[in-house]
């Protein structure tokens, strides 16, 4: 059962994001990006207050480098659509299970990002989970 509402166009949009942000990191890397996106919708906190839909999350200003740099506009493939559906249906993987932020540094992952603690790295991306009361929705079960 979906943890956020999604039409086929939303699935395609999320699939394009997964491909654009983490294609080189394989299935698990793309799934982690999907987790972060869905977590941002579910959390309704911090920089992500008021996000209710996949398009709002993806097109949020400065949220994803791939959206602003053009690679995002490639067509989704069936593999990315399957991963997008899994993320929408609530499948979570470590280190993105509860993460709201990730980025790809040149070197080591810093211990915090936007004042949030580092929880793990998958290949080139570092993942960060929220702390404090404000973002507790991200930890809710489905």
Measured distance CA(60)–CA(77) in Å, rounded:
23
- pLDDT over 90 at 73, yes or no: no
The band of 69, judged by pLDDT with boundaries at 50, 70 and 90, is confident
Measured distance CA(122)–CA(107) in Å, rounded:
13
Contact status, residue 122 vs residue 25, Cβ threshold 8 Å = yes
Minimum mean pLDDT range among 17-21, 31-35, 131-135: 131-135
Residue predicted with more confidence, 130 or 142: 130
Contact status, residue 26 vs residue 122, Cβ threshold 8 Å = no
Count of CB atoms within 10 A of residue 48's CB? 23
Domain residue limits, the chain: 8-139
Beta strands per DSSP E along the chain: 101-103, 112-113, 116-122, 125-128
What average pLDDT score do residues 71-95 get? 94
Residue from 118, 121, 84 nearest 104 by CA: 121
C-alpha pair distances (Å), 107 with each of 1, 43, 110: 38, 29, 9
What average pLDDT score do residues 46-68 get? 93
Q: pLDDT over 70 for what percent of the chain?
A: 99
Cβ-proximal residues to 18 (8 Å cutoff; 6+ apart), any chain: 30, 31, 33, 34, 80, 83, 84, 87
Q: What is the pTM of this model?
A: 0.95
Question: Could you tell me the sign of the dihedral formed by the alpha carbons of 48, 49, 55, 59, in that order?
Answer: negative
Q: What is the pLDDT of residue 142?
A: 62
CATH code, residues 8-139: 1.10.10.2520
């Amino acid at each position: 059962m979906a943890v956020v509402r999604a039409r086929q166009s939303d699935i395609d949009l999320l699939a394009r994001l997964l491909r654009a942000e983490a294609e080189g990191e394989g299935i698990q890397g793309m799934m982690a990006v999907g987790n972060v996106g869905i977590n941002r919708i579910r959390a309704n906190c911090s920089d992500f207050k008021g996000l209710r839909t996949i398009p709002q999350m993806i097109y949020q200003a400065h949220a994803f480098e791939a959206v602003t740099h053009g690679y995002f506009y490639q067509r989704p493939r069936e593999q990315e659509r399957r991963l997008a559906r899994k993320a929408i249906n609530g499948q979570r993987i470590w280190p993105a299970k509860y993460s709201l932020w990730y980025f790809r540094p040149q070197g080591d992952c810093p211990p915090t990002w936007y004042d949030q603690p580092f929880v793990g790295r998958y290949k080139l991306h570092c993942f960060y989970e929220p702390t404090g009361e404000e973002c507790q929705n991200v930890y809710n079960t489905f």
